Amino acid sequence: MKSATTTNSNITLVTGGTGKTGRRIVQGLKALGRPTRVGSRSADIPFDWNDPATWAPVLEGVSSVYIAYQPDLAVPAAPDTIRAFTRQAVDAGVRRLVLLSGRGEREAERSERIVREAGVEWTILRASWFAQNFSEGFIRDLVMGGTVALPADDVREPFVDVDDIAEVAVAALTEPGHAGELYEITGPRLMTFADTVAEIQRQTGRSVQYAPISLDSFTSALAEQQVPADYVSLLSYLFTEVLDGRNSSVTDGVQRALGREPRDFAKYVQTAAAAGAWTQGE
């Protein structure tokens, strides 16, 4: 194995580099003039979490890595994969790891410990539910259909703007002062899913309503749409375990990392609507 001094050229690798957080982080790093490598199966140097043979090429010359594991750190395969990847990254000369984790996901904490014990600088970003799931994720189709039917009733969640997550990640990857920090990243207020849908309707004028349904009805609908079973299982976990009220509090993670308040859901809706999030493709 070549030593870090001969291979390191200060590239930042962004795994999941075309995803919700990853592509924003890539944009932020490039805006700072930082050498950046996109970790994606479609990239010039392909990267696939499920194919360890693709790891060495993307780690060549890399000093910092943003780790966004797909599909989620809660899945059983995650800890072994994260352990193997972080070991290979450190051996390749990586000196800083920034891990995207899920707030309230106890299973994800196993991977967090692996990153903490990797022997290099680390930062954990433990994020709440993404606001962008309503405009870039699976909930967008429900919004476009006029009824957001989900197995969540009165639980309140501090939905976080992914732009905030990306900004914290860029800071952790490029600035001093973030090593050894665990940032719980949330939005500034608690909202039910009904509240979020009402906000989207208020700002866009779309006729859209929220309808709480049972988990069985939800999973049956996904099965009818031929959604892969492992993804159905993951969504079931998120709606039954993570959305059980354990995350019904706001945190100061964004303020600690960036020195400002997090963006409100209403601001996210305004920005997303202006970009055509709920009109494109009609």
How does DSSP assign 28-59, residue by residue?
HHHHTT--EEEESTTSSS---TT-GGGHHHHH
pLDDT digits (tens, 9 = 90+) for 82-109: 999 999 999 999 999 999 999 999 999 9
Please, what's the b/e burial string for 155-166 (b: 16 or more CB within 10 A of its CB; e: otherwise)? Answer: bbbbbbbbbbbb
Residue 212 in domain: no
- Average pLDDT in the 209-236 region? 92
Residue 217 in domain: no
Residue 238 in domain: no
Q: What domain range includes position 169?
A: 4-131+160-188+248-264
CATH of residue 93: 3.40.50.720
Confidence of residue 241 (pLDDT cuts 50, 70, 90): confident
Q: Is the peptide bond before 158 cis (omega within 30 degrees of 0)?
A: no
Residue 53 in domain: yes
Residue 274 in domain: no
- Average pLDDT in the 180-200 region? 98
pLDDT at res. 282: 64
pLDDT > 90? residue 230: no
pLDDT at res. 225: 87
Residue 272 in domain: no
**What is the token pair recorded at 185?**
């990243």
pTM given for the model: 0.94
Residue 208 in domain: no
- Percentage with pLDDT > 70 across the chain: 96
Count of structural domains within the chain: 1
The 8-class DSSP code of residue 234 comes to H
pLDDT digits (tens, 9 = 90+) for 123-137: 999 999 999 999 998
- Percentage with pLDDT > 90 across the chain: 88
